[in-house]
Amino acid sequence: MFEIMSAFKESKMNKNLIDSLISSQKIKEKWKVIVGAVLFKELQFQYILHDYCEVMVSSSTWFSEIKFYEKQILSKLNYELKSRRKVKRLQLVVNPKLEKEKKRTFAKKRNYDNMIGR
């Protein structure tokens, strides 16, 4: 790791990129502790870049739900990073592949028409 740092030490832009990669690796290792077991199943950490953290969510429902937990997640992220650079926001992205892979817990389409009185 130090060899990489010495190769890029002259450029400030490259140093920021290396810092982001190191921060991302730290968070990826501790992601389950940061978000907890329930959210760990629904959220997939991607990376940290500059002042934001990109996270993939399994569905649009979780996309809106995570907005309520954003401040708590950010404070835990910044606590784990312990650096001068703070993560200020979460960039949430819905991954349709995660949604399709999960088993659905609600009624199947063929039974859905009967449930709403059609």
Q: All domains of the chain, ordered by start, with CATH?
A: 2-101 (3.30.300.180)
pLDDT at 8 over 70: no
What is the per-residue pLDDT for 29? Answer: 92
For strand 89-94 and strand 43-49, is the pairing parallel, antiparallel, or unpaired? unpaired
Q: How far is CA 31 from the centre of its chain?
A: 8
Average pLDDT in the chain: 78
Selected residue with higher pLDDT from 66 and 109: 66
Q: How far is CA 65 from CA 18, 70, 82, 89, 92, in A?
A: 32, 9, 27, 15, 11
Residue count of the chain: 118
The 10s digit of each residue's pLDDT in 10-44 is 555 577 788 888 888 988 999 999 988 888 888 89
For strand 43-49 and strand 52-57, is the pairing parallel, antiparallel, or unpaired? antiparallel
What is the per-residue pLDDT for 46? Answer: 92
- The answer to whether the CB of 45 falls within 8 A of the CB of 39 is no
Mean pLDDT on 58-73: 88
